[in-house]
């Protein structure tokens, strides 16, 4: 997130969140920092309001961290909306496209791809919803859940977008079909506010910082209660 550098009179722009959602088209009166979010097939916008604060002001770092967490979760939610859209379109295509006198969705290979896409979608959706709850009521560590959500959602989007092209077959590789647009968007979203690998590393650092060594040493899972 670009802080904009130090402005006039030594004042540094700091982003503070309003936490407001706007359904439908982008209103003309919204601030410039607007994150588009696709919820299913409906558009929504989650926006942040830039606020000026002097360097060293108490609470500035916390504001920036909070803004980064909310923006990260907003990107994850946007990603999940796109995943849901292309999954639903792909599922419908598998029902409608007929090959060898039967819908291609009846073929086992296509069934497996669709099942994997749905598992990825629901997994990502669960992590993102959990991150929203953590941000809303501090039921969990917001920084940890935001990174988990973005890492899971961006990886899921990449796989679902790639499988969408495969299920659509020849038409999925053409410029005339929208599948390639989602594939490109998956690559872009995966780099926004940190890649999946960077977020996994961040999660590992946060978890290991609070990890406590087992006094009895490493245990081997046996399937029986400890």
Kindly report, residue by residue over 143-175, the tens digit of the pLDDT: 889 999 999 999 999 999 999 999 998 888 888
* Proportion of the chain in helix, strand, coil states, percent, rounded to 5: 60, 15, 25
Nearest to 78, CA basis, from 108, 117, 130, 39? 39
pLDDT of residue 171: 86
Is residue 145 a part of any domain in this protein?
yes
Q: Yes or no: say if 166 and 104 are a contact pair by the CB < 8 Å rule.
A: no
Torsion angle, CA of 173/171/189/13, rounded to 10 degrees? 100
The two tokens of residue 186 are 């998956």
Asked if residue 70 is part of any domain, the answer here is yes
State residue 65's pLDDT score.
80
Count of domains observed in the chain: 1
Residue 69 lies in a domain: yes
Q: How confident is the model at residue 215 (pLDDT cuts 50, 70, 90)?
A: low
* Contact assessment for residue 97 and residue 91, using Cβ atoms and an 8 Å cutoff: no
CA dist list (Å): 199 to 4, 67, 83, 122, 125: 24, 16, 20, 19, 17
Question: Containing domain of residue 120, as a range?
Answer: 59-209
Confidence at 212, pLDDT banded by 50, 70, 90:
low
Q: How far apart are CA 57 and CA 213, in angstroms?
A: 38
**33-46 b/e (C-beta count within 10 Å ≥ 16 → b):** bebebbeeeeebbb
In the chain, the percentage of residues whose pLDDT exceeds 90 is: 35
Identify the CATH number of the domain in which residue 151 sits. 1.20.140.10
Is pLDDT above 50 for 42? Answer: no
Q: What is the pTM of this model?
A: 0.68
Degrees, nearest 5: CA angle 183-157-159: 80
């Amino acid at each position: 997130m670009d802080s904009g550098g130090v402005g006039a009179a030594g004042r540094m722009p700091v982003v503070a969140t309003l936490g407001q959602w706007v359904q439908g088209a982008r209103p003309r009166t919204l601030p410039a920092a607007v994150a588009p979010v696709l919820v299913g097939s409906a558009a929504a916008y989650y926006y942040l309001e830039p606020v000026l604060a002097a360097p060293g002001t108490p609470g500035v770092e916390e504001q920036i961290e909070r803004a980064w967490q909310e923006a990260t979760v907003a990107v994850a939610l946007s990603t999940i909306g796109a995943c849901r859209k292309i999954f639903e379109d792909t599922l419908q295509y598998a029902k409608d496209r007929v090959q060898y006198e039967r819908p291609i969705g009846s073929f086992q290979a296509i069934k497996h791809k669709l099942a994997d896409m749905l598992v990825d979608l629901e997994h990502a959706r669960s992590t993102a919803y959990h991150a929203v709850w953590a941000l809303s009521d501090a039921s969990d560590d917001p920084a940890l859940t935001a990174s988990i959500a973005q890492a899971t959602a961006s990886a899921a989007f990449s796989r679902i977008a790639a499988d969408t092209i495969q299920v659509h077959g020849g038409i999925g590789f053409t410029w005339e079909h929208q599948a390639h647009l989602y594939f490109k968007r998956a690559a872009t979203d995966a780099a926004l506010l940190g890649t999946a690998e960077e977020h996994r590393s961040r999660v590992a650092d946060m978890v290991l910082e609070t990890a406590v060594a087992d006094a009895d040493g490493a245990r081997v899972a046996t399937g029986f209660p400890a």
